[in-house]
Amino acid sequence: MEIQMWRSILEPYALAVDELKVKFEHIREAYRKDGLYSPIELVDGRVKSISSILEKAQKKHISLDDIETQIDDIAGIRIICQFIEDIYIVADLIRKRADMKIVEELDYVKNTKASGYRSYHMVIKYRIETIHGPKDIFCEIQIRTLAMNFWATIEHSLQYKYKQNMPETLRTRLLKAAEAIVVLDREMSLVRGEIMDAQNSFTVKSNVVADILNNIQNLYKVANKREVVKIQDEFFKIYQEGDYDALTQFAKELDIISEGYRAQSLG
């Protein structure tokens, strides 16, 4: 197959990856905007390289004509979570979506691979619109914790370096590290509630601060400058005191003031 041909084959996969990344990032932002803890921490995506596709096709005895139907991870999305519990929340979110059809689910979190690899895999069918019409794309979504991702990234590089000939001592070391990751994830789960509370209040506070700053910026356009500087100084004073209730109260009062100016400018 010519390189040009590969390009046109892979283009729809790139579109699917871009769209899916935006959608999952949007979910994370929607949680945060509502001042809620997000089960999604990071989103990454890639289209498999031509050489990796060929390598996989050769390993699995797949003919070039069957690549698109037989290799289901040409498009790949990786969702990184903070805690194991979040993995299952994200999997549930995906199951409920109308735009993603589940084709396969593999739970390597509960059923660890012999290598020590842990991750939750979902293969979905996702429809994109191209200039030639709609096209269904298979995409593999890997959902894992930050700790699992740390291990998998390092192990993947070593696998790449050694191929099938990884030294036994290294393999044993990686298995030990994988066990340590299990313990780490379990320990972190025990403090999940506390960490979620801390992150929720951080998000709520930063949303309140963003609202206040936005209002102050708008007031500069319509109100007396000296008055706005006074409001700004008062904000800095309350902010430095670190009294969250006072900050919320201040935000409410500022909303009323801004609303007053807005009504004035409309009238």
So which residues are the catalytic ones? Answer: 140
Beta-bridged to residue 101, according to DSSP, are 125
Asked if 73 is part of the footprint of ligand 0O2 (rule: CB under 6 A), the reply reads: yes
Q: Is 174 in the site for ligand 0O2 (CB under 6 A)?
A: no
115, 118, 223 from 262: Cα distances, Å: 62, 54, 10
3-state helix vs strand vs coil in the chain, percent to 5: 65, 15, 20
230 touches ligand 0O2 by CB under 6 A: no
Tell me whether residue 112 or residue 248 sits nearer to ligand 0O2 (CB atom).
112
Nearer to ligand 0O2, 115 or 189 (CB): 115
Q: What is the CA radius of gyration of the chain?
A: 25
| Residue 118 lies near ligand 0O2 (rule: CB under 6 A) | no
Residue with the two structure tokens 């209002």: 215
Considering the complex, state which of residue 111 and residue 240 has its C-beta at the smaller distance from ligand 0O2. 111
DSSP letters, 104-135, are EEEETTTS--TT----EEEEEEEEEEETTEEE
106/204 with CB nearer ligand 0O2: 106
Q: Does 113 bind ligand 0O2 (CB under 6 A)?
A: yes
The answer to whether 115 contacts ligand 0O2 (rule: CB under 6 A) is yes
Map tokens 């691979």 to a residue.
113
Q: Which stretch of DSSP H or E encloses residue 94?
A: helix 84-95
For residue 38 the two structure tokens come to 């997000």
Beta carbons within 10 angstroms of residue 215's beta carbon: 19
Cα atoms in the 13 Å half-sphere on the side-chain side of 188: 17
CB of residue 8 to ligand 0O2, shortest distance in Å: 21
52 scored as a contact of ligand 0O2 (CB under 6 A): yes
72: Cβ contacts below 8 Å, ≥ 6 apart: 103, 104, 123, 138, 139, 140
Residue 56 CB, nearest distance to ligand 0O2 (Å)?
5
**Residues in contact with ligand 0O2, total (CB under 6 A)?**
12
Which amino acid belongs to residue 69? T
Is the Cβ of residue 155 or residue 185 nearer to ligand 0O2 in the bound state? 155
CB of 167 to ligand 0O2, least distance (A): 16
Distance of closest approach, residue 128 Cβ to ligand 0O2, in angstroms: 20
- From residue 29 to residue 48, what is the string marking binding to ligand 0O2 with x (rule CB under 6 A)? -------------------x
Residue ranges binding ligand 0O2 (CB under 6 A): 48, 52, 56, 73, 106, 113, 115, 117, 121, 152, 155-156
